[in-house]
Amino acid sequence: MIEICEVGPRDGLQNEPKILSTEEKAELITRLIESGVRYFEAVSFVNPTVVPQMADAEEVLNALPKGDGVTYAGLILSRSGLTRALTTDVDCLHVVTTTSDSFNLKNVKRTVAQSVTELEDVILEGSAASKDVLGVLGTAFGCPFEGKVESSTVLHVAERFLHAGCTGITLADTTGMANPQQVHDLVKMFHREFGEDMKLGLHFHNTRGLGLANTLAGYQAGVRRFDSSISGLGGCPFAPKAVGNVCTEDMVNMFHQMGIDTGTDLSTLLQTSSWTETIMGRPLDGMLLKAGTA
């Protein structure tokens, strides 16, 4: 069984020139719930002047349907983000740092070491407030400014986040630099270091066309939790040439073709993808929406 973390409402929208209304964001998530998705990175508690697409995080959470086993997570980059998050009923905190100093300085104006030190306290406080906390490690497979990021650096940051109280880790390919062999090797190293029972997720972008190949490599290495975005929406405002995330309906189609359950209905996902393309007012990147299932 695959667990999907749908990041379209956050990562999918944060780089779009068109800013959706609170009501449109809530409808997008509601439609995805109807397709069977049960875990969302729904909002981001970031500076609204820097990422105006995410300015209405509190309002979005208030507008969402509750219950039915649905979990809503919010992205946290700093203590100020935690302060905002703790005024809401968000279920889970996704605490994020990248693992490259050059990228992290552009993203949050801190070195990796400075971010990790601050975020350890954020993780502790979030856990003390009875929130589930996951750590998200960006540029885990490479940095557009520095190139290779050492696996030992990624695992060291993961260790500090887990020690502070994270219940799991997501390794993120922020700018689509990963390849399947690299994914397989890093997942195996993570499992050797922290055990195969430690919750591990993977987050891929399709910048160089390897998103689904990397997803499959992660699955074959033992991962069962994957981030994806409806219609392939996505991109980072601070990443050069950033394009969308792995497309949710394309990923679901791949797993269903392999006989692997995702807990979702593909036809309903495709209807939501078509609606999303209409609401965004431009052609989107999902392949299944173009080609169909037949």
Catalytic residues: 236
Supply the DSSP symbol for 34: H
CB < 8 Å & 24+ apart, contacts of 156-159: 157/97, 157/99, 157/112, 157/116, 158/190, 158/193, 158/194, 159/193, 159/194
Q: Collapse the DSSP code of 194 into the 3-class scheme (helix H, G, I; strand E, B; otherwise coil) and give the result.
A: helix
DSSP string, 120-184: HHHHHHHHHTT-EEEEEEETTT-BTTTB---HHHHHHHHHHHHHHT-SEEEEEETTS---HHHHH
Largest distance between two CA atoms of the chain: 51
- Rounded (to 5) percent helix, strand, coil in the chain: 45, 20, 35
Q: How many CB atoms lie within 10 A of CB 76?
A: 29
**φ, ψ for residue 275, nearest 5 deg:** -60, -40
Contacts of residue 111, defined as CB under 8 A and 6 or more positions apart, other chains included, come to 101, 104, 105
Q: Collapse the DSSP code of 14 into the 3-class scheme (helix H, G, I; strand E, B; otherwise coil) and give the result.
A: coil
Backbone φ/ψ region at 176: left (φ over 0), alpha (ψ -120 to 50), beta: left
β-strands 39-45, 71-76: how paired?
Answer: parallel
Contact present, 229 and 172 (Cβ < 8 Å): no
Supply the DSSP symbol for 45: E
